[in-house]
Amino acid sequence: MLDAAVTAFARRGYRAASMDEIAEAAGVSKPLVYLYLNSKEDLLTACIRREAGALTAAIRAAVEPRAPADRQLWHGLLGFFEHTAGHPDGWTLLHTQARSVGEPFATEVAAMRAEIVAFVTTLIAAAARAAEHVDTTLAAREVPALAVALVGAAESLAGWSITSSPPSARTPRDNAATLMNFAWSGLSSLLEGGGRSEAGR
C-alpha cells in the first residue's frame, strides 16, 4: 500500500493522486486503506516517514566507522546516491512533493534533513581532527556550514540525475566521485586556513 502511494504521490503529485487509484494499484479496497490510515494526509505522512527513515539508514549503513575520515565521507556520499538512484520515486516524494505541499509535511522532511546534516557534520569534524595543520578555531566555525553546503549539493545533484531530460547516464559512483572531489579539495584547503575570505581576492 505504501509502495503504491509513494509512486502515485511522486509521479502525479499529492493533490492529483487519489485514494481510489492508490488502492487499485495496491490491490486492496479503498475502505481497507482508510482502515489502516485515517486520511490521505496520514498516508502521505506515513510515506514520508518510511522513505526518510530508509534514506538515513542507508547513509549510516554505508559508512565504515573505523575507516579513515575521507573514506567515511566517500562511503556516506555513495550510500546517499545509490539509495536515491535505486528509489527515485521515494527521493522525488521527499525532495519535491513533500516540500511543495506545505505543512506538516515540510516539517517531516526538514527533520530528516537535519538528521543527515548532523551526521555529515560529525564526518567532516572527524576529517578536520585527522588532518594536519588544521586551524582548529576555523574548523569549529566552518564545519557546520560545510555540512549544510555538502548536503545541499548532494540533494541538488541527486535531483538533477533523476529528473534530467534526456535521463542522465551518470552512475551513483560518478556522482559521489564528483562531489567528493569537489568537496574534499576545498575542505582540505579551508581547514588548513587556505580558503578565500572574499570573492575576487
Burial class (CB in 10 A: 0-12, 13-18, 19+), 141: exposed
Residue carrying the nine cell digits 569537489: 182
CA dihedral for 158, 49, 106, 21, sign (positive or negative) = positive
Q: What is the pLDDT along the chain (201 residues), one digit of tens a residue?
A: 899 999 999 999 988 999 999 999 989 888 888 888 888 999 999 999 999 999 999 999 999 988 988 899 999 999 999 999 999 999 999 998 888 887 888 899 999 999 999 999 998 888 777 766 666 676 677 888 889 999 999 999 999 998 887 777 889 999 999 998 887 776 766 666 555 554 444
Q: Are 45 and 28 in contact (CB under 8 A)?
A: no
Q: What predicted TM-score, i.e. pTM, was given to this entire model?
A: 0.86
**Assign residue 134 a region: left if phi > 0, alpha if psi is -120 to 50, beta otherwise?**
beta
- Could you give all domains of the chain from N- to C-terminal order, each with its CATH number? 48-191 (1.10.357.10)
Distance in angstroms (rounded) separating the CA atoms of residues 136 and 155: 28
Report which DSSP code applies to 168. Answer: P
